Structure 1
Amino acid sequence: MTRPVAVITDTGELDPEPGVGLLDEAGFEVRVVGSPDADAIAAAAHDADAVIVGYARIDGALLDRMPKVRMLATMSAGHDMIDTVEASRRGVWVANLPHSATEDVAVHALAQALSLTRRLPQADAVVRAGGWSTDFGEVPRRAGEMTLGLLGMGRIARTLARLAAPVFGRVTAHDPHAADWPDGVERLDLDDLVENADVLSLHIPSTPRTRGMVNADLLARMPQGGVLVNVARGDLVDPEALLAALDTGHLAGAALDVFPVEPPDATDRLRTHPRLLLSPHSAFLTDASLRAYATEPARNVIAWWTTGRPHTPVTVPAGVAAPASDSTARTPRTQGASA
């Protein structure tokens, strides 16, 4: 009997072997491409049943070259690298990892927010330059007198709200799609959220509607001396508008874990601006999350092969009925804004 074929695209810093082992034990032939290149993926996956996706772009043109594929499993919570509408139309499942790094990303966002509100990068620079407290020009505000605003109320934002509630005086959020709303978080419309957020943290996906959403107008409506945190997607923020707000001092700082182009060019001011606190798309990164990112996509593929359905579907293929109780799988046209 011919073994089913699973292909793993680009793996980045991940060791794919734990996932390869699970798939092999389940009877799969596994091929690791190790590249996001479409030609390399198509060559390896021409007869594949399932593809595990890193950052590689999977669109209709590539799906044409993988005619047997009926399962796409991402190695992340994000799935914007896949054309989910086209996949669903072709009868292809798409599954993601909604839980694997939720706590890690939320903790990272809180750490960035507190680092900026406490002016830790500036304090570090003062000491390294030979100065002391009398040379510290920017006095931090008390976090208990500040408002944290969350744009999006998905799993990460809800976890961040829980962690931040004892620290910030007020936690607010905006998400017109969220049904699960935590106690203690004020639900505001977008204008009120932005105008009251001393710290604005982004937790929405990249869509045609949200790309560039954090523009000059939105930043200008934030309170003077506000802080922006982005652990979501780099293209949510207009980089020139952000740099201008930092240059004028309207924003006291911004923390970026994601960038419009990754990694940013060495000459990009997003790398060098003194009011920016940067991390290399590492908010998810812990020993536990690395294990999960290798094994859980494989488990999604195995579940699909053995039961006809992955554990954590993002979309249900056209023509497949979703269970009435299933709140995780959504058709591409009804996906919420939460991330």
Structure 2
Amino acid sequence: MSHPIVVITDTEELDPGPGVRLLSDAGFEVRLAGSRDPDVIAALAHDADALIVGYARVDAALLDRLPKLRVLATMSAGHDMIDTVEAARRGLWVANLPHAATEDVAVHALAQALSLTRGLPQADAVVRSGGWSQDLTETPRRAGELTLGVLGLGRIARELTRIAAPVFGRVIAHDPHVPDRPDGPERVDLDTLVRDADILSLHVPSTPRTRGMVNAGLLARMRRGSMLVNVSRGDLVDPEALLDALDDGRLAGAALDVFPVEPPAAADRLRSHPRLRLSPHSAFLSDASLRAYATEPARNVIAWWTTGRPHTPVVVPADATSGQGAS
């Protein structure tokens, strides 16, 4: 029996070694593409059984070139880089990593919210320039008197509401797709969330309905002097509308970990606006999450090969045994 073949697309800063070792020990032939280029991926994966995907776009055109493919495993909780509708139509498994960085991203969102609230970068700049408290241009706000609004209630958002509850005076959330839970935050409709939040934190996937949802209309409904945090997906926010809201004072500040184009161009105003707090798509990053991103996609592929089902599927073929590699 020939070895099953798995191709790992792009890994960015991730060391794929631990995952490669797991797959090799399980009998897989492992190939590293090290690229998002569909031509490079197709050349290496034309006979592959499995694909482990970083940020590479996997659409119908690429899938047409991978006739043996049976399972795709992402190196993230998000799976919007894969055309899941097309994968389902072709009877492919798609698996993600729902838990790898839940704590890290939730803590990052809270840290960004508190940094905005307390004006920490401004305070740092004052001290470094030789000034002191009398030189602060804005007075920090007390978190216990503010409302944190959370848009979306997936795993990361639920963790954020849990750890933020003792800090903020009120935590509210909106997600029409997640059932209410007795231990969850106060649930409100979208209009109330946008109207009442002093800080609005985004935690929804990128879909045709959510792309650009934070536009001029939504920002105009937010409280004057409110703030925005986005650790989810860059295309949720219309960047020009955001910059306009910061310029006219509708928003007192915003914190972005994700951007419509990554990294932003050197001349992009998102890089230089004084009311923006930025991080380089690093909310997920920790020593623990890096280990998980390397090993857990491999474990999903190995589980599919040995049992017929990955551990954490988000797309299940109509015939749930159709992805089984070996029994």
Q: With structure 1 as the length reference, what TM-score do the two structures score?
A: 0.93
Write the mapping of 1:181-200 to structure 2, written as runs, cut at 5 A.
181=181, 183=183, 185-200=185-200
Q: How much identity, in percent, do the aligned residues show?
A: 80
1:193 maps to amino acid = L
Cα 1:103–1:182 shift into 2, 3 Å? farther
- In the alignment, which residue of structure 2 is the partner of 1:278? 278
Question: Cα gap change, 1:180/1:18 in structure 2, threshold over 3 Å: closer, same or farther?
Answer: farther
Question: Quick check: 2:51–2:73 contact (8 Å CA) kept in 1?
Answer: yes
Task: Figure out how many residues of one structure are paired with residues of the other and give that number.
Answer: 322
- Residue in structure 2 matched with residue 47 of structure 1 by the alignment: 47
CA distance 1:54–1:215, change in 2 (3 Å): same
Aligned to 2:219: 219
Q: Distance in 2 between matches of 1:218 and 1:120?
A: 27
> Contact conserved, 1:172 with 1:185, CA < 8 A, in 2?
yes
**One-letter amino acid matched to 2:34:** G
Q: Which residue of structure 1 aligns with residue 26 of structure 2? A: 26
- What whole-Å deviation, never above 9, does each CA across 1:296-339 have from its counterpart, x for those lacking one? 00000000011000000011113338xxxxxxxxxxxxxxxxxx
Aligned to 2:123: 123
Q: Which amino acid aligns with 2:312?
A: T
Query: How does 1:224-303 map onto structure 2 within 5 Å?
Result: 224-303=224-303
Q: Helix, strand or coil for the counterpart of 2:314?
A: strand
Q: What does residue 13 of structure 1 align with?
A: 13
Measure, in 1, the Cα distance between the counterparts of 2:227 and 2:198.
6
1:336 alignment counterpart: none
Q: How far apart in 2 are the matches of 1:21 and 1:64?
A: 29
CA distance in 1, matches of 2:266, 2:89: 41
Q: Residue 324 of structure 2 aligns with which residue?
A: none
Q: Secondary structure at the match of 2:271?
A: helix
Deviation at 1:65, TM superposition (A): 0.3
Partner in structure 1 of residue 100 of structure 2:
100
Q: Deviations over 1:110-143 (max 9, x none)?
A: 0000000001111112222221111112111110
Q: What stretches of structure 1 move > 3 A for 4+ residues in a row? A: none
CA distance in 1, matches of 2:133, 2:294: 46
Residue 254 of structure 1 contacts residue 275 of structure 1 at CA under 8 Å; is this kept in 2?
yes
Partners of 1:144 and 1:138 in 2: how far apart?
A: 18
Q: Which residue of 1 aligns with 2:70?
A: 70
Q: What does the per-residue CA deviation read over 1:187-240, in whole Å, with 9 as the maximum and x for residues that have no partner?
A: 000000000000000000000000000001111111111110000000000000
Cα distance in 2 between the residues matched to 1:162 and 1:88: 34
Closer, same or farther in 2 for the Cα pair 1:61/1:184, shift >3 Å? closer
* Residue of structure 2 in register with 1:335 after alignment: none
- Matched AA of 1:134: Q
For structure 1, the residue ranges without an aligned partner over 5 or more in a row are 322-339
Q: Give the C-alpha shift of residue 180 in structure 1.
A: 5.4
Q: In structure 1, what is the equivalent of residue 144 of structure 2?
A: 144
Aligned position for 2:320: 320
Tell me the distance in 1 between the aligned counterparts of 2:16 and 2:303: 18
The residue number in structure 2 matching 1:325 is: none
Amino acid at match of 2:136: F
Aligned mates of 2:62, 2:99 — CA distance in 1: 28
Report the Cα distance in structure 2 between the residues aligned to 1:100 and 1:184, rounded to whole angstroms.
Answer: 22
What's the secondary structure of 2:51's corresponding residue? strand
**Counterpart contact for 2:158–2:184, Cα < 8 Å:** no
> How far is the alpha carbon of 1:7 from its aligned partner?
0.4
Give the alignment's Cα RMSD to 1 decimal.
1.2
Which letter maps to 1:145?
E
Q: Secondary structure at the match of 1:149?
A: strand
- Give the secondary-structure state (helix, strand or coil) at the position aligned to 1:56: coil
Distance in 2 between residues matched to 1:143 and 1:222, nearest whole Å: 18
Q: Report the alpha carbon displacement of residue 8 of structure 1 after superposing the two structures with TM.
A: 0.3
Q: What letter matches 1:17 in structure 2?
A: G
Residue 15 of structure 1 aligns to a residue whose secondary structure is: coil
Supply the AA of the counterpart residue of 1:213: M
- Contact 2:180/2:187, CA 8 A, preserved across alignment: no
CA distance in 1 between counterparts of 2:198 and 2:318 reads 44
Provide closer, same or farther for how the CA distance between residues 182 and 224 of structure 1 changes in structure 2, counting only shifts above 3 A: farther
Q: 1:162 & 1:92 partners in 2: Cα distance?
A: 36
